[in-house]
Structure 1
Amino acid sequence: MSAKEMGTSDHHNRPHEETIEIKELLKVLLQSQAKLAEAQAQQADIQRQMLEQAKSQENIQNQMLEVLKSNSAGNKQQ
């Protein structure tokens, strides 16, 4: 007896197939979210490094400014 003869159809099997498809889609979604989280962590690390470099450069510029001020004050005394 075929499925049609028994009064059932292929539709009976579809919920199971849809469940499998949803599970696959969720798996892909979770993998994508994990990759995104990893990329965001890398971006945050790069931004932290850039901030450290900017602070270091600011310190160097402040030191240079102090040297210039010191030299300028020394030249005025002469």
Structure 2
Amino acid sequence: MLPRERLAADPLLALQLVALGRAVAVLPQSLRNHVRHDVACVPVTDAPPTQLLIAWPAEQRSRALAGFIRAATEAAADQRR
């Protein structure tokens, strides 16, 4: 585990630190379209797959939330096929 001062608060901050030459980062493939033009990146093809979680306030119930969860889980299932 890295010391907390070595962890970026969010992926876009991590990319900014990389662009400034202050860091290297391992980021999810989903950010590939958000990588700055001044940052080089390559896929890590031999890394194990990662798992993501969907989190929301436990008391919240809505059709929009249910639709989002359904779409996200279906998209994840499609990626595994």
TM-score band (shorter)? under 0.3
User: 1 or 2 for the larger relative contact order (CA 8 Å, sep ≥6)?
Assistant: 2
Q: Greater helix share, 1 or 2? A: 1
Task: State the TM-score, normalizing by the size of structure 1.
Answer: 0.26
Task: State the TM-score, normalizing by the size of structure 2.
Answer: 0.25
